[in-house]
Amino acid sequence: MLLARLFREGMDGGPATQLSHDLLIGQEVPAYRPIVMPGRLASLTTDLAAATQDVARAEFGESAELARMAGRELDRRTAAGGTDVKAVLDCLTECSERLHSETGKGLLLLIDEMGRYVEFAATNPGSEDPSVFQQLAERAGGSPNNGLAVVGFLHHRFGDYVATLGDWLEGEWRRSSERYEEISFHESHEQLLYLLSEALVTRRAHTAAVKRAAGSLYQEAGERGLFALPSDDLLAIGDKLYPFHPGALACLWSCSRRFGQNERSVFAFLQSSEPFGYQDFAHKTGYGGASWYRIDDVHDHLASQGSLRFQSRDREKRWEMGQDALLVFGDLLSAKARRVLKAVSLVAVLEPMPGMAADVDTLAWLLGCDKDDVRKALAALEKRGVIHRRESLADWSLWSHSSVDLDQWMDKARAAVPEMRRLDEELSQVTSLRSMVAQRHYHRTGTLRSFAVRVGEETMQADSLADGLVVVRPAYPDEDPAQVRRQASLMSMQLGPLAVVRIQPIALGHLAVARDLACWRWIRTNCGELRIDDFARAEVERRVRNLENELRGWLLPFGQANTAERRVDWLHQGKVARIESRAELNRFLSDVCDRTFDKAPILRNELVNRDKLSSAVAAARMRLLGLMIDEERKEFLGLAGAPPERTIYLSMFHDSGMHRETESGMRFGEPGPDDPRGWMPAWRQIDDLSHGAESVGVDTVISRLREPPVGLRAGPALLLIAAYMLRHRGSIALMERGSFQPEITQAHFMRLAKSPKHFALRRIGAVENMEVLGALVEGLSIWSDQRPGVDLKEVVEALFRWWRHLPEFARVTRTVNPMARDVRAILRKATEPVELLLERLPRACEAMGTDGIQAERYALRLDAALTELGDALPKLRGRVEASVLQAFGTRSIGELRKQIVADYADHRLELGSYEIRAFVDRALKEDVDDEDWIDGVVGLIVGRRLEGWDDTLADRFSFEIRGMAQRLARRLTLIRVGKARSAPVRAIHLTTSDGEERSLYLRDGSQEEGDLKARIRTVLAGAQRPDAVLVDLLGEMMDTESRERVK
């Protein structure tokens, strides 16, 4: 509120201005019209629209156009569940600019509890565009004439609010925070003491004993280094801080900064009635000089909270180890030992804290115990393996003990690792700094270009993952400076314009640190005991990490500029570059990028403007590609709300005008007339590459776009290529593995994104012989109702669509004539559309004359071949129907089905065989037409659909269907004979080699004499082939019975 009053008064002055006069040392305060926005778990975009509407109404009138624009965005939020971030920020910026031009005042956004908006955006990406914070900062930090300023109040960094959502999200939000200037505000311990001394109000003066005890404690706290106040000041306020022990206050203050949001603040703690809190202590503890709220009370209060939200996983692990130790050993320890364990645990979680260590003297002072009692408690805890003594720090900790003699191993390492005279490859990697970014170029274009930092004398190849290279050429004490300079100059020329070389002097002290580092890394590699000794392994890692940091600190100029070291030279393309500070280095790198990538488009969207996309953004890009194909004619491609694909679309296609209204509706095309975002050079580069005589690989196009002067990342490059293909859909063909793709689908782009090397673009230009195309368009009967235009690509696409729907049987059968087979083989292997339509097919159709293609003959013969291929399946179906009718002796399929119903409807459960019953069941289904019934019969008999047949299956089906008809006839006869007689009937069927069948029906239950059967078995046992004898006898009996029936 003070800021709101201060900036509203501005240069006119007022109470707030007077109050802040001393703080600002007489500086004038700029005039702003403040907007105070209390943070909440809601959409910042929506609240910005509402705030803009209120300001516009108040400053420009109820009917102001700006107010109506903001109102429309609010209505859109209500109707569609999302708002257009760009439109809302446009309203806000326009309102600020108008206010600045008319009144001289800017617009100041004061966003209190801004972290709540951040939390909502991070957890609701479908309702809020996370880029609103980035775009808002860019608007405020853009033109100085718009008068817009933003001040946000957060308890923690941006990334802390999304710390539990994963490393990727935390990194994305950290990049958004980089648009803001961060002003850290931390109350000092001293300020906290003064404020707390005023907040603790007593009803009556403290006793002399309490005053003496408080003064003594706080004076000792100052001597121990807990507070930086003079002893007299601590003595003066000591009694006002009763009953808080100085150590407890230091712990509470540290907790308020390390845990959660701000719910653990000291002043909130004063009002809290939580267990083991201040109010609980005051009511349960008697008054006196020995009654103090100590460190173990702070531990109990924190433990009673259930779960604490840590910003560091390491501290969370320490806290859990302390709680586990208390849970396991608490009942086995004395009361003093438990207090000591709580103090050691809390100090371990909060360390480092000035004046606080888990040693005997400090613990005795914190707990108000005798030192001997503390020693006994520590000895008991150590005996049980709960804590151990850290000899290097002379204190106690919760970590496990070590049995590895690191001193002995260090002696071995010194003997194994030689003295350092050069930074070897391994140590060069250690000293390499993280990549540097051309910040100004990034703010201008939206493309983050990095310069990898390498250390070495032979760094002659650029980093494939970085745009440029900063090479640190070490200059060792035994090298000739002139020779080093010549080598560095040559290196800077060979590496090209995107490289800068720094000559870095190396001192003997650097090499000594490097050797120590090499020794500890040798120990880490060769000491097998580290695998089972957690403490020793942690100690080795700590030593390695500290030495790496020390080496980096000593060699801090690596990849940077240091004004304190004038001997450092920078070289670029063989010339000395004047770089005397890190800021100058950053400006230099940005200038290099501006000159090298002077045709780079402006794309301010970090989601997609990169080479490697996250899985979530890659999925969003695929959805956008699908919409580009299916919803091209819709505004915003039909996107609503704030999904990531909409933000990508807005920043790339909407802002650039590549998707705009045309005479034929919304279509993709080249950038707008003014090319506001500079996309025309990239568009023209794709156009130039695709105009070649041969196909150009998509991976080649993406690689060329990444090169100077365009420098487009692979993420947006695929989208740009897709837009170009849609714009030139009549002349650009997509080739996959050398084959023409008649229709582009989302599946193509999915495969293209994974393997661009398998795809290519092929330009199909206009052909001179339009007579041929016209003859094909008019003469081919395969077009049905969708006749293509007289255009080469349209005709080829239509022909391939027809081919794609051709049944498999038509693609393999040899029942078609030779010309049809030749045409089919050409279509199957076709790759180049022009060659297919104007060379290979005319030759197959024998339509090539001395003067070129004979158009009418070509169209006539190609139509005949394609028609025969198309008729192959119907002809096969006719053969199948004929085989069925011949097998059953009927004249039509309908008559056959009626006959089957009449004969077998009442006997289907007596048919026995599954195949026979299924055949009859299909005939009984009245809702199945004759063609589907034939398909069902084909599947039942052969086991394959008619479309998937080959030529051999037709004869097999003819044989199988005759067998089915015979089995049905025999079964029907058997059923009828059995029904006519009282006893069950058995049927015997004999089939000769010429196909003649004979049947004999016998009633079951005949009682022949047993001795007759025995004699027959005896006679047959002597025969060589008893089965043949029985068959002959049965045949004679059948013939005799047949002759008698005839008589």
Please name each of the domains of the chain with its CATH number.
31-177 (3.40.50), 187-279 (no CATH), 310-401 (1.10.10.10), 406-596 (no CATH), 615-763 (no CATH), 770-875 (no CATH), 889-1006 (no CATH)
Distance between CA atoms of residues 1039 and 161, nearest Å: 99
Coarse DSSP helix, strand, coil percentages of the chain, rounded to the nearest 5 percent: 60, 10, 30
Contact call for residues 915 and 904 (beta carbons, < 8 A): no
Residue 895: CB atoms within 10 Å: 12
Q: Is the pLDDT of residue 790 over 70?
A: yes
Whole-number pLDDT of residue 871: 92
**Structure confidence by residue, pLDDT tens digits, 407-431:** 788 889 989 988 887 776 555 555 5
Which of 269-283, 309-323, 435-449, 510-524 bottoms out in mean pLDDT, i.e. has the lowest?
A: 309-323
785-793 contacts, C-beta under 8 A, 24 or more apart: 791/730, 792/764, 792/766, 792/767, 792/833, 792/834, 792/837, 793/730, 793/731, 793/733, 793/764, 793/833
pLDDT classification of 343: cutoffs 50, 70, 90: very high
Mean pLDDT, residues 972-979 taken together = 71
At residue 282, what are phi and psi to the nearest 5 degrees? -65, -35
Which of 540-544, 634-638, 861-865, 968-972 bottoms out in mean pLDDT, i.e. has the lowest?
A: 968-972
Mean pLDDT, residues 738-761 taken together = 85
Q: Is the pLDDT of residue 742 over 80?
A: no
Most confident of 131-145, 451-465, 502-516, 948-962: 948-962
**Structure confidence by residue, pLDDT tens digits, 28-68:** 656 778 888 888 888 888 888 888 888 888 888 877 788 88
Which of 476-480, 544-548, 711-715, 988-992 bottoms out in mean pLDDT, i.e. has the lowest?
A: 988-992
Segment (H or E) for 835: helix 833-835
pLDDT classification of 581: cutoffs 50, 70, 90: confident
Whole-number pLDDT of residue 74: 80
Question: In sequence order, which residues have a C-beta less than 8 Å from that of residue 615 and are 6 or more positions away?
Answer: none
Give the DSSP per-residue string, 164-192.
GG-HHHHHHHHHHHTTS--------HHHH
Here the tokens at position 101 are 């031009």
Distance between CA atoms of residues 451 and 466, nearest Å: 6
Q: Is the pLDDT of residue 17 over 60?
A: no
Mean pLDDT, residues 430-449 taken together = 83
Beta strands (DSSP E) in 650-805 are 659-662, 665-668, 696-697, 732-736, 739-741, 759-763
Q: Which amino acid is at 448?
A: L
**Structure confidence by residue, pLDDT tens digits, 153-203:** 876 666 566 554 544 455 556 666 667 777 766 666 667 777 777 778 777
Most confident of 117-131, 440-454, 760-774, 775-789: 440-454
Distance between CA atoms of residues 809 and 949, nearest Å: 5
Sheet holding 106-112, edge to edge: 32-38, 106-112, 148-152
Residue 327: CB atoms within 10 Å: 9
Distance between CA atoms of residues 873 and 250, nearest Å: 89
> Please, is 148 exposed, middle or buried when counting C-beta atoms within 10 Å of its C-beta (0-12, 13-18, 19+)?
buried
CA 1046 to chain centre: 87
Whole-number pLDDT of residue 649: 94
Beta strands (DSSP E) in 838-971 are 848-849, 852-853
Contact call for residues 681 and 709 (beta carbons, < 8 A): yes
Here the tokens at position 452 are 């990898």
Most confident of 65-74, 284-293, 441-450, 550-559: 441-450
Residue 98: CB atoms within 10 Å: 18
Q: Over the chain, what is the mean pLDDT?
A: 81
pTM, full prediction: 0.50
Whole-number pLDDT of residue 750: 86
Q: Is the pLDDT of residue 601 over 80?
A: yes
Whole-number pLDDT of residue 118: 81
**Structure confidence by residue, pLDDT tens digits, 359-393:** 999 999 999 999 999 999 999 888 887 887 877 67
Most confident of 96-100, 255-259, 1007-1011: 96-100
Whole-number pLDDT of residue 8: 56
Provide the residue count of the chain.
Answer: 1047
pLDDT classification of 721: cutoffs 50, 70, 90: very high
Here the tokens at position 913 are 């065989």
Mean pLDDT, residues 121-134 taken together = 77
Peptide bond into 709 cis (omega under 30): yes
Give the DSSP per-residue string, 971-1010.
HHHHHHHHHHSSS-EEEEEEE-TTS-EEEEEEETT----H
Most confident of 220-229, 355-364, 912-921, 991-1000: 355-364
Sheet holding 759-763, edge to edge: 696-697, 759-763, 732-736, 739-741
What share of the chain in percent tops pLDDT 70? 82
Mean pLDDT, residues 321-332 taken together = 83
Q: Is the pLDDT of residue 441 over 90?
A: yes
Whole-number pLDDT of residue 264: 44
Q: Residue 127 in 3-state DSSP? A: coil
Whole-number pLDDT of residue 314: 59
Whole-number pLDDT of residue 312: 59
Distance between CA atoms of residues 216 and 97, nearest Å: 61
Contact call for residues 344 and 388 (beta carbons, < 8 A): no
Distance between CA atoms of residues 779 and 860, nearest Å: 7
pLDDT classification of 1046: cutoffs 50, 70, 90: very low
More confident residue, 186 or 710: 710
Whole-number pLDDT of residue 964: 83
Closest CA to 610 of 180, 178, 182, 171: 171
More confident residue, 102 or 982: 102
Mean pLDDT, residues 674-686 taken together = 92
More confident residue, 286 or 8: 286
Question: In sequence order, which residues have a C-beta less than 8 Å from that of residue 684 and are 6 or more positions away?
Answer: none
Write down the residue that tokens 């009245």 correspond to.
Answer: 926
Angle between helix axes 44-60 and 114-123 (nearest 10 degrees) is 130
Q: Is the pLDDT of residue 589 over 90?
A: yes
Whole-number pLDDT of residue 311: 60
At residue 243, what are phi and psi to the nearest 5 degrees? -100, 25
What share of the chain in percent tops pLDDT 90? 19
Which of 168-172, 243-247, 317-321 bottoms out in mean pLDDT, i.e. has the lowest?
A: 168-172
Whole-number pLDDT of residue 260: 45
More confident residue, 195 or 736: 736
Beta strands (DSSP E) in 232-385 are none
Q: What residues form DSSP beta bridges with 472?
A: 455, 502
Distance between CA atoms of residues 970 and 196, nearest Å: 108
Which of 130-134, 222-226, 354-358 bottoms out in mean pLDDT, i.e. has the lowest?
A: 130-134
Whole-number pLDDT of residue 262: 40
Cα-based distances in Å from 1019 to 665, 1006, 1022, 1029: 97, 22, 6, 11
Whole-number pLDDT of residue 559: 42
Mean pLDDT, residues 455-481 taken together = 77
Q: Which amino acid is at 477?
A: P
Whole-number pLDDT of residue 186: 61
Q: Is the pLDDT of residue 1045 over 50?
A: no
Whole-number pLDDT of residue 166: 47
Q: Which amino acid is at 304?
A: S
Contact call for residues 167 and 19 (beta carbons, < 8 A): no
